[in-house]
Structure 1
Amino acid sequence: MYQRQNALFEKTQRVSTDYREISARPIFLFIDELAALMTSADKTKRTSFQDLLTRLVVLGREAGIYLVLSMQSARAEYVPTIVRDSISLRVQLGRINSENSRFLFPELSEMPFVPIGGNGSGILSIAGDPDYAGIEPVLTPTILD
């Protein structure tokens, strides 16, 4: 580990850097059905996992580690607030209800109009992008076999 850190420092000569400055490749960590994972774990494992998620979110972006989380029900007991607040792309598809929307989009004062289209309709928010500032309704194509 020390050799790797030393090699990274030699590339930049700086104490703090970004993964792109040292030509490192980003790492995407996908966690599907996060709520199912959390409900099947005991309290000690749940707490430990939430602590790990928080550290990854707080420290991972600069290191090029990105989390992609999916769940059927977005609720506060599954994802710590600091993790939720760090999510730069939020998409809610399918059944739109006020509980899930309040958790994913705490800045919403009222429910936005969601296009009526059945499958693939929802709400989208991209933080830090001036072209997509705020919360927008979205309608994605649905492929039927």
Structure 2
Amino acid sequence: MKENEPPSTLETHLGYWLRMVSNAVSHSFARKVEREGVTVSEWVFLRALYDAERVQPSHLAEGMGMTKGAISKLSDRLFEKSLIERHANPDDRRAHTLALNAAGCELVPRLAALADRNDAEFFDALTPDERQRLAKLLRKIVEKRELAGAPVD
């Protein structure tokens, strides 16, 4: 900043616009999944389990970029909601794996459809080509900055 030059406004920053859109998209989606009885973090957890037959909590934590403690709390909540099951490891009584149960398997496609509709609602102002370019640019930033872990907040 040059001397006697006013500081930049919020609106001059790309982060401002990204955050505005991100907050609106995220809050809208959170309200939709909460009507289905889960949080966004639980949805991300369920979606990760959907692609795996059984997974160790430590592998899930690594893939989601979360601590083992956070995964433990999420798995406890989802177990209480009767959406996942735990399987004991016969070779190590302290270890177990997690998997979706039938109710969890039925819920994931419904939640994915909500995510699809939420995206359509917010990004319908863009042409398909613009959406692809935006996705490509955002992925480029993620790769360049080596960002990892599922965004759950």
Larger radius of gyration: 2
TM over 0.5, shorter chain: no
The higher-RCO structure (CA 8 Å, 6+ apart) is: 2
For Structure 1 versus Structure 2, the TM-score category normalised by the shorter chain is under 0.3
